[in-house]
Amino acid sequence: MRLTYSVKGIPYIEIDDETRIIFTKITKNDKSYKWLAVKCVETLNGEVGKGNRRKSFVKTTAVNFMTDMKLRGFPRGLVGRHPSLTKVKHALLKRLFKKMCIEDSSDSDMLLFPEEKLSELEVELYKRYNDEEEE
């Protein structure tokens, strides 16, 4: 898990090759990010039929949705069921965002992620994710 930037300079957290959490602003002039766009691929393996006519299948589905900085609104069961979006990673991101975000003055229930905190997030993700892999 690491923080990287797109060709256009948009920051995103790359969890694996197919799973990304993209920071989005309301307008170009904003200095904070309000929403996260989550893009991932979910794979379902199974078998149909009986006896000798049994066939196995693999179905992949693109899962795209928006969430706020509190990481609310994930589809039911996606966290933990998705191989790279584990409950541990979800909890880690929640803790980091809670620590680094500021309250939105126009909406007290929303959090904003300031642009200047991106470098701090990059360091924290690198440090914590590498500590996880060493265990």
Instruction: Select the more confidently predicted residue: 28 or 12.
Output: 12
Beta strands at 102-103 and 35-48: parallel, antiparallel or unpaired: unpaired
Average pLDDT over residues 73-85: 77
The Cα 127–Cα 100 span in angstroms is 16
Tokens found for residue 126: 């690198």
Say what the pLDDT of residue 120 is: 93
Domain range list for the chain: 2-48+55-127
For residue 38, pLDDT over 80 is answered with: yes
Instruction: Select the more confidently predicted residue: 27 or 20.
Output: 20
Average pLDDT over residues 15-43: 86
Of 24-33, 58-67, 73-82, 110-119, the one with minimum mean pLDDT is 73-82
Q: How many Cβ atoms are within 10 Å of 73's Cβ, its own excluded?
A: 11
Residue type, 130: N
19 closest CA partner among 70, 93, 102, 69: 93
